[in-house]
Amino acid sequence: MASNLLHYITPSAAIICWLLFEEKSPCELSYPILRATYPLAYAALAVIRRSFTGFYPYWFLDPADKYPQGIGSFANLFIFISVVSVAFVLAVILMIVINHLSFHKKR
């Protein structure tokens, strides 16, 4: 239940709240790149944390174990995190486009 809330309900609610209640304003073009740093930093911290605790929060962040317990290698981890980062960038670009359309509609 907590996993569903964290991974599905909260992001959906955040997007809905942003669409309905957030005051729209011009966005900087640097926003997508800044947002891509989140998955990169999260993966780096997870790998560093593993060296201290022996724990990965998700199976796909474990480069040491073979699939399905892990992702298999640091190269696979890099590919996976790169894809997630690109998804973050595309999502932010979509939000900027929606924000831009909403901002200009109100003026």
Q: 3-state DSSP helix/strand/coil percent for the chain, to nearest 5?
A: 75, 0, 25
Reference 24, options 106, 104, 99; nearest CA is: 99
Q: What is the pLDDT of residues 60-76, one digit of tens each?
A: 888 888 888 888 898 99
- The band of 79, judged by pLDDT with boundaries at 50, 70 and 90, is very high
Which of the 8 DSSP states describes residue 39? H
pTM of the complete model beyond 0.85: no
**Percent of the chain at pLDDT exceeding 90:** 10
Structure-model confidence comparison of residues 27 and 8, the more confident one: 8
Residue 97 reports pLDDT greater than 80: yes
d(CA 86, CA 81): 9
- How does pLDDT run across 11-68, given as a tens digit for each residue? 888 888 888 887 767 667 787 888 888 888 998 999 899 889 988 888 888 888 888 8
